[in-house]
Amino acid sequence: MPSHVNKNKNKETDRALDQRLLTLSALFEISQTLSSSLNIRSIVENVLRIPMGNLLINKGIVLLQDEEGPEFIVEDLKGLPRDILGKNLAIDTYLDRPTFVKEMEQNNDLFIFFKSFNIEIVLPLIVNEGMIGLVGFGEKIGGKPYEQNEVEFLNSVANIAATAVYNGLSVAKIKRVNIDLDKKIQQLHTIFDISRELNITLDQKKIASLMGFAVMGELLVNKYIVFIKEKNTMKPLVTKGLSPLLNPDQELTEIEKPVHLNETERFEQYTKQGFALIIPLRLKDETRGVMMLGEKIGEAEFTSSDIEFLTTLGNYAMSSLENARLFKETLEKQRMEEDLRIAKNMQQRLLPSTIEQPEGYEIGGINIPSREVGGDYYDVIRIDQHLYGIVIADVSGKGAGAALLMSNLQAGLRALTVGDVNLAEIIPRLNKLIYDNTDLEKYITFFYGILNTKSNTFTFCNAGHNPPYLIDKKGVIRELKTGGIVLGMMLGISFETETIEFKSGDTIVMFTDGITEAMDNNEDEYGEVRLQGIIKNNKTKAAQEIINTVSSDVKAYTHGTPQSDDITMVVVQAK
């Protein structure tokens, strides 16, 4: 073989060795560079920079798989438009080797994407978990095709880079986990700190304000409002950074999970007010309130960790709000019970403890109060030696107000019933007294009679009360209706009076509607027919015995049904 041929072969061998040494040197540089960093940004930048510098490539791109989904994200690029950074690409093609774009299926999304940016070759980044990324390179400067050894070089770079990228992603994930963990620890500290504050107050507004300060300080939101459910509607409890006040939507009571307002058109009015998130405040699987938050300062998104923090804090605060509500209700109930106790005592003190018996007559009376304080009243007032005022009345309403009105009635009646009594003058004055001291919703049904034991007469006026019965010896019943309308309804009303003989053997029975309107289990009323029958059958008995018989019959009739109104009865008998 000629010597010049051997020399040429030796030169080619030397060039090949030099090229391989250059390639190995570049791979060694890449390996050292990639291994020296766990920063994913630095890794992907070198994955492009070193090969492009060695092979004089005009453009490059790196796509990495999204941790939270199947898509791939443009992580870094060179020589390409920067606006595609962060772009998501759905890739359903798995590459296991370097592939030239022109060899891909032309209707494939991967082909279309890389072809649009003049990428010539794509190399997969593969680890044990599968393909975690793709590296693409454009053409070489000068337009020369890639040689086999260059493809092998790029594949080696991709293999080295795959491990480095995987490690970088793992470190980045660990850092994010640590950041999230630190954030959760901070949020737990916040919840722990605020829980101590919430446990020492029973003021609902203070509880909601404390929660607001914690949320706005922790998440840096620009506005905040808490609605609390009251009788199936939401009412604002505390607002911060908000003007004007929102009108709560009825649908807020139906929210069971957090609502991102930018993902729905359901609550458009809140979105227009600048709100971004609604957190339901739940207790015992029921939405008892909502917390509404504005955008974060800087317009950062609410993360799943934020939602978890808000839900936990909100539900804890809801328990405190409910405790505050129950405490308030307990205090209110105790106050009402004290008012009722005072009113009951007031009512009982207004009723006669004993009844003075006129000569030749017998008077009996009873008042059986219901569970609530009613407004029944009866009295026997001795005017002089022969005159006795006998009254029965029913004040509208219940509670302390009714008892107070009853006391005004008694005081006014006793003040007017003096000296030479004129019933026709007493009733209009009493009507004016009640009218001047009450509103239109308060009135009194009133029956007042004056017994004259000297003339054996009974003069009466019935102001809208259940007509008492006059029963003679034969059992004939007459209703005593003469009078006028109820007291306190209006002024300028005339009241009629009537005088009747009150003969031996006659009985007058006065009663309130607590007797006739008493109901059995079927909600049927006791009624006047039954009352008249009992009175007729027992008219020969003593006054108090008639009363006891009627009250026992009413009790038997309503057996098992709570007493809803006072039962009051007065019986006057002429011996």
pLDDT at 23 over 60: no
pLDDT at 8 over 60: no
Top pLDDT among 25 and 272 is at: 272
Count CA atoms closer than 13 A to 116's CA, side-chain side: 8
pLDDT tens per residue across span 361-391? 999 999 988 766 667 899 999 998 899 999 9
Residue boundaries of the structural domains of the chain = 3-172, 201-327, 353-574
Report the amino acid identity of residue 315: N
Q: Kindly report the average pLDDT of the chain as a whole number.
A: 83
C-alpha 53, offset from chain centre: 65
**What are φ and ψ of residue 287, in 5° steps?**
-80, 110
| Domain 3-172 matches domain 201-327 at the CATH topology level | yes
Top pLDDT among 28 and 533 is at: 533
Most distant CA pair in the chain, distance:
172
pLDDT at 182 over 50: yes
- CA dihedral (277, 283, 286, 291) in degrees, to 10, reads -20
Q: 353-359 — which CB contacts under 8 Å span 24+ positions?
A: 355/380, 356/380, 356/382, 356/388, 358/388, 358/451, 358/453, 359/453
pLDDT at 91: 80
**What are φ and ψ of residue 373, in 5° steps?**
-80, 120
Find the mean pLDDT for residues 68-91: 87
DSSP-based three-state secondary structure for 73: strand
Instruction: Measure Cα distances from 237 to 208, 226, 250, 289 in Å.
Output: 7, 6, 16, 10
**Which residues fall within 8 angstroms of residue 510, CB to CB, at 6 or more apart?**
378, 390, 392, 447, 468, 569, 570, 571, 572
**Domain 201-327, CATH number (from 3.90.220.20, 3.40.50.1950, 3.90.1570.10, 3.30.450.40):** 3.30.450.40
In contact, 139 and 58? CB cutoff 8 Å? yes
| Locus of tokens 């390179």 | 137
| Locus of tokens 């005592």 | 345
User: Mind spelling out the 3-state secondary structure of 416-432?
Assistant: HCCCCCCHHHHHHHHHH
Top pLDDT among 248 and 476 is at: 476
Find the mean pLDDT for residues 26-40: 64
C-alpha 1, offset from chain centre: 101
pLDDT tens per residue across span 383-434? 988 999 999 999 887 767 777 788 888 888 988 887 777 898 899 999 998 8
d(Cα 307, Cα 296) in Å, to the nearest integer?
13
Confidence of residue 77 (pLDDT cuts 50, 70, 90): very high
pLDDT at 444: 92
d(Cα 375, Cα 394) in Å, to the nearest integer?
5
Predicted TM-score (pTM) of the model is 0.52
Where does residue 16 rank: exposed (0-12), middle (13-18), buried (19+ CB within 10 A)?
exposed
Top mean pLDDT of 41-45, 72-76, 169-173 is at 72-76
Confidence of residue 18 (pLDDT cuts 50, 70, 90): very low
- Please name the fold of domain 353-574: Phosphatase 2c; domain 1 (3.60.40)
Top pLDDT among 33 and 556 is at: 556
Find the mean pLDDT for residues 182-190: 60
d(Cα 384, Cα 359) in Å, to the nearest integer?
12
pLDDT at 16: 47
CA angle 334, 335, 339 (to 5 degrees): 115
Lowest average pLDDT, out of 81-85, 397-401, 557-561, goes to 397-401
Top pLDDT among 371 and 140 is at: 140
Confidence of residue 166 (pLDDT cuts 50, 70, 90): confident
Top pLDDT among 378 and 175 is at: 378
Query: 3-172: what CATH class?
Result: alpha beta
pLDDT tens per residue across span 436-454? 887 767 889 999 999 999 9
Q: Which residues pair with 569 in a beta bridge?
A: 366, 511
Strand order in the sheet with 88-89: 88-89, 72-78, 60-65, 130-137, 121-127, 99-100
pLDDT at 14 over 70: no
**Which residues fall within 8 angstroms of residue 223, CB to CB, at 6 or more apart?**
239, 240, 241, 242, 274, 275, 293, 294
Top pLDDT among 344 and 559 is at: 559
CA angle 353, 359, 364 (to 5 degrees): 35
**What are φ and ψ of residue 565, in 5° steps?**
-150, 160
Q: Can you read off the two tokens belonging to residue 206?
A: 């203070």
**Which residues fall within 8 angstroms of residue 229, CB to CB, at 6 or more apart?**
235, 253, 287, 288, 289
Strand order in the sheet with 361-368: 361-368, 567-574, 507-511, 469-471, 477-479
In contact, 160 and 34? CB cutoff 8 Å? yes
pLDDT at 193: 60
Give the total residue count for the chain. 575
pLDDT tens per residue across span 321-333? 777 777 777 788 8
For the residues of 360-409, what is the DSSP string, one character each?
A: TEEEEEEEE--SS---EEEEEEE-SSSEEEEEEEEESS-HHHHHHHHHHH
Phi-psi region at 397: left, alpha or beta (left = phi > 0; alpha = psi -120 to 50)? left
**Which residues fall within 8 angstroms of residue 513, CB to CB, at 6 or more apart?**
394, 466, 565
pLDDT at 122 over 50: yes
In contact, 533 and 508? CB cutoff 8 Å? no
